[in-house]
Structure 1
Amino acid sequence: MNKRGLTASLLLAGLLLAGCGADNESQSDSGSAAAPAARQADKAGGGAVQEQAAPEQGKDTTAQSPDLRVDQRSIIYTGSITIRVDDVTSAAAQVTGIAAASGGFVGGDERHSGDGSSTANITLRVPADKFTSAVDQIAKLGTEESRGINTQDVTEEVVDLDARISVQKARVDSGKRLLAEAKNLDDLVMLEREVATRESDLASLEAKKRRLADLSSLSTITVVLLDPAAVAEKPTEEPPGFLAGLSGGWEALTASLGVLLTVLGALLPWIIALGVPAWAVVHLLRRHRRRNTPALIAPAAETPPSTP
């Protein structure tokens, strides 16, 4: 091989080595550039997974507390108002119209007329949010003589009923699952009785909740209408302390005596009708027994023997 061929071979080998080195550098560069991207993607993906897992864990472990704000509380409103009007019939019609306009209805209507006067006692059921406005409108129908407003907060009772209903529903469901898996007749009968008892308790709790919901959603207003000649009934005030106890004891005593006399009055005709003949029969039997009983003659006393 001459010098020119040797030089060509060396140049070719150098070019091949340079190409391999460039390929290795490009691969290492691309690998080093891809690694941070992959790490960032893994970090982002892991963070997303943690962020998604955190809300789920919080959702499972965080208990929702009841909303006890004033506007969310269950409050029962009851009120009574006494109005003196010129015409009871016309005022009663207006009271009924106020209830209907408020979205309520008339729960009771009792009217009396006679002795030159007339009165009306009307019970209204109106939505709780219209309670105050309805009372104010009724007060404008005439001269207001008395008004009484009472409120009862039953929020705690409603919350307690909700919790008990949830527990009772779970008990009913578990009882039904066991009933479906019953294998013999004895277990079937026992589980049917248990499920029926649990369903009855659940129905009772739900009825209580519906009752509270009805009283809190619809308020009760008792309207007393009086014409100018009617006399308003004033509640009697009892004296405080010892006098109140004495008055209550005396009323209880008179009430007890009244009941006793009533019972004696009811029994007296029976005592006369049955007791007098019975006494006569007993008296005659005693007289007859005395006549037929021989008299017992006492023996004469023995005279002691004479001594000579």
Structure 2
Amino acid sequence: MSVREGRRRGVPLMAVGLVAVLLAGGCGAGGSNGGRGTAAEAPAGGAAERDQAAPGQAGAGAPDLRVDQRSIIYTGTMQVQVDDVERAARDAIATVTAAGGFVGGDQRRSEAADARAELELRVPAAKFTAVIDELAKLGRQQRREVHTQDVTEETIDLDARITSQRARVENARKLLDRAGSISELVSLEGELAKREADLASLEAKKRRLGDLTTLSTITVTFVGPDASTAEEKTEIGFLVGLRGGWEVFLASMTVLLTVLGALLPWLVALGVPLVLLVRVWRRHRRRRTPPAGPAPVGAPPVGPLPTGPLGGPSPTAPPPVPATRSAP
């Protein structure tokens, strides 16, 4: 066979091989597409993978919400000096009521020299800034503090936990319906009660957060024109020192009585037996000690004789006993 004839035969064989490769590729692609369309386990497996991936994605961070979609708690405190405390308090309540809020607390002191009113006002979050500005216009603002707390992530987490806990409660109820024995029934009832209590606690937290984010809190204090002078007068003086000393004395007595009350049981438990033992020991010692005998008659006094004012013998001193000589 010549080289030219071999080349002629090789061209058809290469064409047939190329067609076979193309057909095999097309069949493989069709089979893979058909497998995705007909396999019953593929959707379930994908859903399971999505369910497993969802908690991880939720834990990675809160969704990127706009400012108006975030849950923010606004709280403000301010002090305003006014000419008439009662009138300023009435105007503040009227302003809050017109904004759709209400009064949460009201404390007033009506002394002429030191009039004072402290109001806790709840206003819608959307009108927080406008209301606090209106309150500042009622007099001369002396202090203002505004704080914000973003609880968006906590709210989202509570929603997820509430949903999960509700599912757990439903599962416990289903298991309770299929209980086959008294012991199993009692155990499932306890588990159901625990899950329902956890769910109620989560829902209470969610309501509390919702209340704080929906209604902001403003604590405003109205003071009279003489409030600063009255405060300076009451900061120093004899009565202030006396009151402070009395408070320190009461605190010290409280601590002393507390310590005494803590030690009293030990003193009773240990002191009474100790006193009894000391008394018994003393009686026993007295019984064992012999009584002292009478002094010998005619025995010379021991020690030097008392002397008179001029160095002689004292007139009250007893006469000296003459020394006796022994016989030679």
The alignment's TM-score, normalised by the length of structure 2, stands at: 0.58
Deviations for 1:235-279, whole angstroms, at most 9, x for unmatched residues?
A: xxxxxxxxxxxxxxxxxxxxxx996763324566997xx88x968
For residues 292 and 263 of structure 1, the distance between their equivalents in structure 2, rounded to whole angstroms, comes to 47
Aligned ranges for residues 65-144 of structure 1 at < 5 Å? 68-114=65-111, 116-144=113-141
For residues 289 and 267 of structure 1, the distance between their equivalents in structure 2, rounded to whole angstroms, comes to 37
For residues 113 and 283 of structure 1, do their structure 2 counterparts lie closer, same or farther at Cα, with a shift above 3 Å needed?
A: farther
2:188 is equivalent to residue 196 of structure 1: no
For residues 267 and 286 of structure 1, do their structure 2 counterparts lie closer, same or farther at Cα, with a shift above 3 Å needed?
A: farther
> Which AA in structure 2 matches 1:99?
V
Deviations for 1:115-159, whole angstroms, at most 9, x for unmatched residues?
A: 712111111011101111110110110001111100000000000
- Superposition deviation, residue 283 in structure 1: 5.8
For residues 263 and 203 of structure 1, the distance between their equivalents in structure 2, rounded to whole angstroms, comes to 42
CA RMSD of aligned residues (A): 3.8
Q: Helix, strand or coil for the counterpart of 2:78?
A: strand
Structure scoring higher RCO (CA < 8 A, sep ≥ 6) equals 1
Q: Is the 8 A contact 1:77 1:149 kept in 2?
A: yes
Unaligned runs of 5+ in 1: 1-49, 51-56, 235-256, 296-308
Q: Is the 8 A contact 1:82 1:224 kept in 2?
A: yes
Aligned ranges for residues 130-169 of structure 1 at < 5 Å? 130-169=127-166
Q: Helix, strand or coil for the counterpart of 1:117?
A: coil
2:287 is equivalent to residue 292 of structure 1: yes
For residues 105 and 139 of structure 2, the distance between their equivalents in structure 1, rounded to whole angstroms, comes to 21
For residues 178 and 126 of structure 2, the distance between their equivalents in structure 1, rounded to whole angstroms, comes to 50
For residues 134 and 169 of structure 2, the distance between their equivalents in structure 1, rounded to whole angstroms, comes to 49
- Superposition deviation, residue 198 in structure 1: 0.6
What count of residue pairs does the alignment treat as equivalent?
Answer: 217
- Superposition deviation, residue 290 in structure 1: 2.4
For residues 100 and 124 of structure 2, the distance between their equivalents in structure 1, rounded to whole angstroms, comes to 7
- Superposition deviation, residue 287 in structure 1: 3.5
For residues 67 and 190 of structure 1, the distance between their equivalents in structure 2, rounded to whole angstroms, comes to 43
Q: What is the aligned counterpart of 1:179 among 155, 176, 181?
A: 176
Greater CA drift, 156-165 or 278-287 = 278-287
- Superposition deviation, residue 112 in structure 1: 2.0
- Superposition deviation, residue 99 in structure 1: 1.2
